[in-house]
Amino acid sequence: MMKTMLRSDRSPVLRRAGVAALGLWLGLVAACSALAQTNDLVVLYSTGFEVSEGFDPDYTLVGQGGWLGYGTGGNGMVSNAFVGEGQQAFIGYNPPEDTNDFLNVWRPATFTPASGEPARARFSVWMAIVDSSNDSYDDFRWSVYNTNEHRLFSLDFDNSTWDISYLLDDEQGEFVSTGQYFTNSVLYELTIEMDFAANRWQASLDGEPLTASLPITTQDRPLNLGDVDAVWAIRNNQAPGDNYMLFDRYRIEVSGPPAARPRLEAVGRLSGSQFLLRVLGQASQLVVLEASAALPSSHWTAIETNTIPASGEWLCLDPGAGGHPQRFYRARAAGPE
């Protein structure tokens, strides 16, 4: 058991995702971060929310490292809440800026299994829920969505009863208790195993089964992975709790080959010092365009991060290329190298 002491997504199934959406040309490099092998799974995305990964604690989590959000309310990074583990992300605490009932934060990590191929995914995260001090208590969830932005299933941590329950995508939309409970300010490791070929998922907490094997979809929705969201479900938006969920070591692993590497093409020089490039890649793939002054290079500067649209083509601009005597570019899948 990991347990270490520290210190209702009851909305429609469909969630609309918001996406934050050249001088002298002497070189072009197309690259993609390699996916690390873990048994028969590869790491699709992993982060510890550290400064070294580009996460600045002076800003919200949403807008950094490809993380997106839906709704308003507290989210960001704190240091050493999990002792000795650097920075952690959090969601909650600060009330929303409007009357929304939910705040979802997620980082796109798409996995569409090839027909007839193994189709497994594993999500794991360190998490803890810190109690309210204002006598208002909310829910925190982990919700899995497919690439069509349909919520497939959720795990709910009810901070008023400490009950852990799950919600499928059935039309009744009823939460079912797992019969297990959590303790505030205790660090847990949550793992969710998904078998898309069999349409089954199962969760464990600190290595102990949390749910039985359950259907990923009951509505015959596309069996693929779009993202895994941290959710703050506010029970009373006029009096939200100041409770919050901490999380770290966020990791998604999948079976099968990685997505095709993005390719980069020069379009041409525009007026002034701007240079236009074209990135070709897999739709919904999160890609970062980077530049360097020389090759080989150990220092690449991010110019822009974006999600490849359905057309498979993203036109991106380097507005400051003219200020460099030479400029090299690469496009890679966003995430750790």
pLDDT tens figures, 187-216? 999 999 999 999 999 999 999 999 999 999
Q: What is the mean pLDDT of residues 14-32?
A: 27
Q: What is the mean pLDDT of residues 243-250?
A: 97
Helix (H) or strand (E) run with residue 258 in it: none
Partners of residue 328 on adjacent β-strands:
292
Query: What are 295-303's contacts with CB under 8 Å, separation 24+?
Result: 295/27, 295/29, 295/328, 297/328, 300/330, 302/54
184 — pLDDT class (breaks 50, 70, 90): very high
* 47-51, 94-98, 174-178, 291-295: least confident range: 291-295
pLDDT band at 30 (very low <50, low <70, confident <90, very high): very low
- Examine the pLDDT at 297 and tell me if it is beyond 90: no
Using a cut of 0.85, tell me whether the model's pTM lies above it. Answer: no
User: Span 118-124, mean pLDDT?
Assistant: 91
Confidence of residue 9 (pLDDT cuts 50, 70, 90): very low
**Confidence at residue 2, expressed as pLDDT on a 0 to 100 scale:** 44
Choice among 58-62, 107-111, 318-322 with the minimum mean pLDDT: 318-322
Residue of 234, 220, 258, 266 whose CA lies nearest to 99: 234
The more confidently predicted of residues 302 and 285 is 302
Element housing 103 (H / E): strand 102-106
Could you write out the DSSP letters of every residue in 111-145? B-PPTTS--EEEEEEEEEEEPPSSS---EEEEEEE
Q: Dihedral through CA 158, CA 162, CA 166, CA 170, nearest 10?
A: -50
Sketch the domain layout of the chain as residue ranges: 41-254, 263-333
Fold for 41-254, please state it: Jelly Rolls (2.60.120)
Q: How far apart are CA 193 and CA 175, in angstroms?
A: 20
The pLDDT tens digits of the residues spanning 67-93 come to 999 999 999 999 999 999 999 999 999
pLDDT in tens, 256-294: 655 567 888 888 777 767 888 888 887 767 788 888 888
What is the rounded CA–CA span in Å between residue 6 and residue 186?
A: 6
Of residues 150, 138, 334, 154, the one with CA closest to residue 230 = 154
The arithmetic mean of pLDDT across residues 10-39, rounded, is 30
Nearest one of 178, 184, 244 to 3, comparing CA atoms: 184
Is the distance from CB of 268 to CB of 321 less than 8 angstroms?
no
Angle at 288 between CA 256 and CA 42, to 5 degrees: 20
> Which pLDDT score is estimated for 138?
96
The per-residue pLDDT for 39 is 52
103-118 average pLDDT score: 85
Whether the bond into 258 is cis, omega within 30 of 0 = no
- Which CATH class, in words, describes the domain spanning 263-333? mainly beta
Q: How would you classify the pairing of strands 139-145 and 151-158?
A: antiparallel
Report yes or no: 144 and 192 within 8 Å, Cβ to Cβ. Answer: yes
**159-171 residue pLDDT tens:** 999 999 999 998 7
Rounded CA separation 106/79 (Å): 20
- 139-to-91, 174, 217, 308, 326 alpha-carbon distances in Å: 11, 15, 22, 33, 52
pLDDT at 14: 34
Asked whether the predicted pLDDT for residue 48 surpasses 90, the reply is yes
Q: What percent of the chain has pLDDT over 70?
A: 84
